[in-house]
Structures are given as C-alpha cells and as structure tokens.
Amino acid sequence: MQSLFQRPGEMTAPERFGQISWSLVALISLLAAVGVAMLYSAAGGSMDPWAKRHAIRFAIGMAALLFVAVTDLRVWLQYAYVVYGVALALLVGVEIAGKMGMGAQRWIDLKIFLLQPSEVMKVGLVLALARYFHSVSYENVGRIVYLLVPAAMVLAPVALVVRQPDLGTAGMLMVGGVAMFFIAGVRMWKFVLGGVLALAAIPLAWRFLLHDYQKKRVLTFFNPDSDPMGAGYHILQSKIALGSGGIAGRGFKQGTQSYLNFLPEKQTDFIFTMLAEEFGLLGGLGLILVYMIILGYGFAIALRSRNHFGRLLALGLTTTIFLYVFINVAMVMGVVPVVGVPLPLVSYGGTALLTVMVAFGLIMNVYVHRDLRLTRGGLDEDE
C-alpha cells in the first residue's frame, strides 16, 4: 500500500513539513487568537463556555492542517470522490436522523460532538470538482455534455441543504460551485444563460421553496425598521453596535451592546460586530486586512502550482474562505440578509472551525507540492 506521506525517490514527511509556509500558519494562528480573545470578552471575561473550547478545537484543527498538508497531493486527488461521497451520505443522514437546533435540522449527533455535514461538503465539493475538471481537457470544458455531471454534483448537496433549511450554506455551495466552473474555464455565455434562468426561477422559489420566516427575513433586509423587535432586531442592534464603536472603539470588554445582551448571537454570527464595537473601525479594518493577506497567500499558492488539480483546489478553497468572510461581514453590516455564516477562525463553532483548518491544510498541501506535475487523465505523470 502506498504511503500517505512518501513515494519512492520523493520528499520525506519531514522535508514536506519544512516546506510548509509558516508565515501563513502564523497568520491563521493570529486569527484564532483574535477569536479566543473575543469569545473571552463575549463571556464577560471568562474562558468558559466558549474561549477555552475554541482554543482546544483550534489545536486539534492545527494538527489536522499539518497532517493534510504533508499527505501526498495525489492521495487527495485519488480519494476526492470518496470525500465527496461521504459528505453527501452525511447530508442524507441529516435528512433521516438529524438533530434539531434553532429551528433547523442540520446536525448529526456523534455523542462526542455535533457534526454539521454541510460544512464538510464545502471542502468535499471543491475536492470533487477539482478532480473532475482536472481530468477534462480545456476543449471539452466548453461542451455542455461535460458539464452535466459537475452540475449534478453541485445541485445534489444544495437541494439537501435547502431542505434543512440552511439557505446561507446552500448559497455558499452554489456560489462556490459556480466559481469552480469559472476557474475551470467554462465559457462566459453559459454563466449569463444560467443567471437568466436563475432570475426567472426567483418567483417560483419565493412561492414554493422559501419558508415564511425566510421570506420575512428577506423583506426585513430591505426595511429593518418595519419589524424592529422581530425579524429586524438582529440587524438593527448590529448597526447600533457598529456605530457605537466609532473610530477606535470602546475598549476590550467595554462594548455596551454585547454586555447588556442587546447584540444577538455575539459569539457566532455577530462576533465581528462585537469586535468593531470594542476596537472600532480601525480594529475591524485591521481584521479584514489580515483576511486579505491570507486570501492573497491562497491565490498566490494557486498560481504557483504546476499542476491543474492543485490550481483548481487552491483557487476553489480560497474562494470558499473568501465567501465565509464576505458574507459574514456584509451580513452584520446589513448589506446582505442575515443567513448565519460564521467568521472563519473567529466565530465559535466546532465543525466550521475544523472545516476551515482542513481547507487551509489542502491549500498548504498545494504549496508543498507546487512543483509536482500531474497528467489530466491519470493520477500522476508516471502512471
């Protein structure tokens, strides 16, 4: 059986370990440290119940990141469909025996922890699409018949996640999938056609797909003042907290909106709002700058990869992380509807944190194997 870490004549695991971009690891750790500090503040100056768990989960996630980073890239290519299949099976498992929480059925109770399969699918989908488009020539990517399989690979998990219901994650999977099609070289006219069809389907989705509370959430997005104590409460309180932070903020553990419990879900969806209230515009921009640098690393790693699978994988996962950041920050500012997307490495949440760490591990893996050449039709150029 081939080693996960080494093939004959290639780098050993310690050598690959040395190839890891430790500056990127440091930036990732900085974001996690910010998360621990903000969760400590959210609990009124206590490591319980959120900050300590977040730190422990990050340590486990770092171990996973390093393991994923030094595993042979061809292993991830070979088992990409398996990862996708497991994630899809878990989504079906949620449908059959999922655990309810906050009005939705999104988790599987593994006794040790609650697993959210939709988060796992964010990585599984990118892996599977990267493998599929790696094996398809540039000429065939332009043919519709070759797009039917990847389209089904995107739509199947999206449909299952919509049923939970979790429109935020379903939207991320859809946008992430479309991004992979674009990265793979699908012609622009197909995206225009798809956009037109999507717009035409909006009335049907509004009538038959969305629940009443989801319709209310969309309507409240356009006019939060219409229901200030109901559906508009979250975003109105978030805007108040953002404004009260000013330029430099009220200071660590001094945010009035969060400490007086006006700010909802301050440890998860609205943790950026709490940070901006305590550290102001400068603190918020500083955090966004760190994310921008990390995303820049991801895109640079993709461009340096000499194999198509690595480029697709790094670009797809970097785009997924960008969607996390953009949707969360835009959500708390009232730019997009509140859909429950966490802020990577900062928000409290087990499956989301571990998923992001595995995604960074795969991006790092592409960097470690940046000079590896792979044929489109096989697992490596020697096979």
Separation between Cα atoms, residue 134 and residue 96, nearest integer Å: 34
Q: Within a domain: residue 93?
A: yes
Q: Identify the pLDDT of residue 2.
A: 47
Would you say residue 56 lies in a domain?
yes
What integer pLDDT is reported at residue 8 of this predicted model? 46
More confident residue, 62 or 110: 62
Residue type at position 117: P
pLDDT at 63 over 90: yes
Q: Specify if 22 maps to a domain.
A: no
Closest CA to 291 of 10, 8, 35, 11: 35
Residue 381 banded pLDDT, cuts 50, 70, 90:
very low
9 pLDDT above the threshold of 50: no
pLDDT confidence band for 357 (50 / 70 / 90): very high
Q: Where are the beta strands (DSSP E) in the chain?
A: 99-101, 104-109, 114-115
Residue 377 lies in a domain: no
**pTM of the shown model:** 0.89
Q: Which of 31-35, 99-103, 104-108 has the highest mean pLDDT?
A: 31-35
**Is 383 contained in some domain?**
no
Q: What is residue 367's predicted lDDT score, i.e. its pLDDT? A: 95
Q: What is the average pLDDT across 97-114?
A: 70
CA atoms of 224 and 244, how far apart (whole Å): 18
Mean pLDDT confidence for 215-239: 68
- Which of 168-177, 262-271, 277-286, 372-381 is least confident? 372-381
Question: For residues 338-371, b (16+ Cβ closer than 10 Å) or e, as one string?
Answer: bbbbbbbbbbbbbbbbbbbbbbbbbbbbbbbbbe
pLDDT band at 98 (very low <50, low <70, confident <90, very high): low
- What is the percentage of the chain residues whose pLDDT exceeds 90? 51
State the pLDDT at residue 382. Answer: 41
- Are the C-beta atoms of 134 and 305 separated by less than 8 Å? no
Q: What is the mean pLDDT of residues 78-84?
A: 95
Identify the residue with better confidence: 71 or 225.
Answer: 71
Q: Provide the CB-side half-sphere exposure for 244 (13 A, CA).
A: 20
pLDDT band for position 68 (cuts 50, 70, 90): very high
Q: Is the pLDDT of residue 103 over 60?
A: no
| Top-confidence residue, 267 or 283 | 283
**How confident is the model over 121-165, as pLDDT tens digits?**
999 999 999 999 999 887 888 788 899 999 999 999 999 998 887
Question: Does the structure show a pLDDT above 80 at 173?
Answer: yes
Directed axis angle between helix 308-333 and helix 117-134, to 10°? Answer: 140
Higher pLDDT, 122 or 383: 122
pLDDT for the residue numbered 17:
85
Integer-rounded Cα Rg, in Å, for the chain is 21
Whether pLDDT at 272 is above 90 = yes
User: What confidence category does residue 76 fall into, taking pLDDT thresholds of 50, 70 and 90?
Assistant: very high
Judge whether 315 lies within some domain. yes
Question: For residues 251-280, b (16+ Cβ closer than 10 Å) or e, as one string?
Answer: eeeebebbbeebbbbbbbbbbbbbbbbbbb
pLDDT of residue 254 exceeding 80, the answer is yes
- Kindly report, residue by residue over 10-53, the tens digit of the pLDDT: 677 777 888 899 999 999 999 999 999 999 998 888 998 899 99
Higher pLDDT, 177 or 190: 177
- Mean pLDDT (the chain) is 85
Task: Compute the distance between CA of residue 350 and CA of residue 113 in angstroms, rounded to an integer.
Answer: 8
Specify the number of domains making up the chain.
1
- 136 within domain boundaries: yes
Three-state SS at 314: helix
Q: Check residue 1 and give its pLDDT.
A: 40
Question: Each residue of 288-299: pLDDT tens digit?
Answer: 999 999 999 999
| CA nearest neighbour of 349 among 270, 267, 261, 287 | 267
Close Cβ partners of 207 (under 8 Å, ≥ 6 residues apart) = none
Strand, coil or helix: what is 107? strand
What pLDDT does residue 217 have?
Answer: 67
In-domain check, residue 224: yes
Which residue range is the domain that position 193 belongs to? Answer: 51-368
- Of the ranges 183-187, 254-258, 336-340, 356-360, the best mean pLDDT one: 356-360
What does the pLDDT read at residue 376? Answer: 66
Residues 180, 176: Cα–Cα separation, whole Å: 6
